[in-house]
Each structure stands twice: as structure tokens, then as C-alpha cells.
Amino acid sequence: MTVTAVPGVAERQRPAPRLRKLEDERWLALALLMPTAILLGLFIAYPFVEGVLLALSDARVGYAGHFVGLANFAKLWDDNIFWTSVWNTFWYTGVTTVFKLGLGLWLAMLLNRHFRGKALVRAFILLPFIIPTVLSTFAWKWMFDPTFSVINWTLYQLGFITQRINWLGDPGLAMSSIIVVNIWRGVPFFAISLLAGLQTISPELNEAAAIDGARPWARFWLITWPLLLPVTMVVMLFSVIQTFADFQLVYVMTGGGPANATHLFATYAYQIGIGTGLLSQGAAVSLAMFPFLFLIVVVQLLYIRRVEVR
């Protein structure tokens, strides 16, 4: 037995021919990239391609459908609910991002100071972000309830209103209500991320500027803001992508109503595709989101690069 073991050991010292290939960097790189590529392909590329194919067919629930070219998109062009949801999505994303950035930055600046119970406050700030969206949105839905709204009740008791405010029944108010909830939910993410950014800025810079006689406002604009900009842009990028494709908040609060007034891309796609079962048209709606989102992301990424180079 020992006789046969000797050549075995000798063989093990040299890598097997297949493994030897990995000594070549190109093959090694390929092998190391493979897991990621497979994951991306399986969970991102494949569904995306399927989505595109679906959008180019006339598939309905239970019917595989045939290729119809761009017919679904032509239909969307004439669909005013679709255009309402396009406008809504931009409005929703734009307004909420501005407010989330403003409030988040303000909160981050406050949290960056030293005060008692700092850790506790920081933890509590995160609550809206931690609670599952559907859960907190249900709470908000009750607060905006047409009949039992606690906000209306309070305003009524304080004598500010004599009639109920129709929070979710009026198209404009419904959109505003949704925007408020999104801001409430999104501010902690901005605050905590920007706080992390603030803490990387050396306090000496501010101190030096203060000694030179710079007032707080000047210190913010000339020192804090430029140094925080790269972090801000990345946070904005994440937030814009998430908000643009938001679904659960609107679905729970209004379901896209009243009379389709608050639909976003995602909720309208869901209503047509999953609700009514017109899968191809639903896919077309959600695919229509892609060019817009792509453009926004490209612009932001270019901007981030410029900021970083500077």
C-alpha cells in the first residue's frame, strides 16, 4: 500500500491540468466573475428580457400570445391614464426627493451635534425606515381615512375646519397625502446616510474657518456642502430609483385612485397586468419606465463622476 501512495503524493504537488488553466489571469478572472454573472443573468437579465418579450406580445392571463411588435406601446400613447401616471411619477419623485434631501440634511446637521441621549435619538430617527412599509402605510391610511381620519378630528376639535377634508378622495389631496407619507418614510435614510458623510469631514476645517471669521452659513456652503456632495449624490441616486419605481405605498394608500388619479408606473402596470390580466400591456407600462429611469441614472452618474474628479 505504501508503494502506491508515493506517486499519489507526487502527483498532488503539481496542479491538475484543468486547474493549471487558472494560473492564466484571464481564465481566473472569468472564473471569479462567473458566480456574479450567473446571478445577474438569472435574476436581472432573464426577467428583463422576458419582460421585453412580453411587452411585444399580446399575452393575456392563460394565453401565451403572439408577437405584435410595438402595438402595446401604441396603445399606451393614446392612454391618458398612462400619461397621468407618467406625470404623477415625475411629480412624486421630484417633490419627495427635494423634501427628503432638505429635511434629511437638516436632521443630519442636528444629529451631528453633541447632546445628551444622542445615540437613542439616532436610533429612533430610523424608525419610519425600519417599520415595514405596508404596515406604516396602513397606519397612515387610517389617519387619512375619509370618515374616521384622526387628522380631521383634531383639526375639527381645534376649530380649524367645519367640514371633513377628503384626503384620499380628492385627486390633488390624495397625491399630496402620498407624497407626505413618502417623505416621512424617506427622511431617515437621507439623515443617517448624510450623517455618516458629515462625520467624515474633519472638524478642523470648520474650526479653522471659524477662526478666520467665517460665519456658520458660509462655513456650510463653502466647506460642509462641497465635501458632502459626493455622498449626497449617491444617496439621491438610490432614493430617486426607489421612489420612481415605488409601488407598495401607493397601492396601500389609494390603489391608484380616486379614478386613476394617483397611479405611478408600477401601480398602473400592476392594475392592468395582474389585476385585469392583460399581461403584455402591463409589461409595456412597466417597461416604459425604463428609458426615463435610465436617463435619470445616467445624468446622475455623470454628475457624480464630475463631482468626484473635482
Partner 1 sequence: MVQTKRRSVIKLAGSAAAVASTGMAGILASGRTPAYAQQKTVHWLRWVDFVPASDTLLRKELIPQAEKELGMKINLETVNGNDLQPRATAAIQSGSGPDLIQAFNNNTYIYANSVVDLSDLVEDLAKREGGLYKYCRSLCSDGKMFMAMPWAVIGAMVAYRKSWFDEAGATKFPETWQEYHDIGKKLKAKGRPIGQTLGHTFGDAPTFTYPFLWSWGGKEVEADGKTVAINSKETLESVKFMTGFWKDACDEGGLAWDDTNNNRAFLSGTISATLNGASIYIETLRKPDQYQTEKGKPMKEDIMHSPLPKGPGGQFGMHLMQSDMLMKYSKNQDAAKEFLRWIHAEKNYGKWFESQKGYSTPPTAKWESSPVWNADPVLAPFKVAARLGQAPGYAGPPNGKAAEALTKYIVTDMYAKAVQGMAPEESVKWAEGELKKIYSA
Q: Footprint of partner 1 on this chain (CB under 8 A)?
A: 60-63, 75, 78, 80, 145-148, 164, 166-171, 174, 254-261, 270-279
For residues 7 and 62, which CB has a smaller minimum distance to partner 1 in the complex? Answer: 62
- Least CB distance to partner 1 at residue 282 (A): 9
- Least CB distance to partner 1 at residue 79 (A): 8
Measured distance CA(3)–CA(5) in Å, rounded: 5
For residues 21 and 60, which CB has a smaller minimum distance to partner 1 in the complex? Answer: 60
Measured distance CA(310)–CA(268) in Å, rounded: 41
For residues 140 and 190, which CB has a smaller minimum distance to partner 1 in the complex? Answer: 140
Closest CA to 243 of 174, 289, 303: 289
- Least CB distance to partner 1 at residue 221 (A): 44
Alpha helices in 114-255 (DSSP H): 118-125, 127-130, 133-143, 150-157, 171-199, 203-211, 216-219, 225-244, 248-253
For residues 137 and 232, which CB has a smaller minimum distance to partner 1 in the complex? Answer: 137
- Least CB distance to partner 1 at residue 241 (A): 25
In 15-169, DSSP assigns E strands to none
- Least CB distance to partner 1 at residue 292 (A): 24
Alpha carbon 213 to chain centroid distance? 41
- Least CB distance to partner 1 at residue 45 (A): 20
Kindly report the three-state secondary structure assignment for every residue of 115-141: CCCHHHHHHHHCHHHHCCHHHHHHHHH
For residues 129 and 145, which CB has a smaller minimum distance to partner 1 in the complex? Answer: 145
Contact 142, 222 (CB under 8 A): no
Measured distance CA(171)–CA(257) in Å, rounded: 8
For residues 36 and 163, which CB has a smaller minimum distance to partner 1 in the complex? Answer: 163
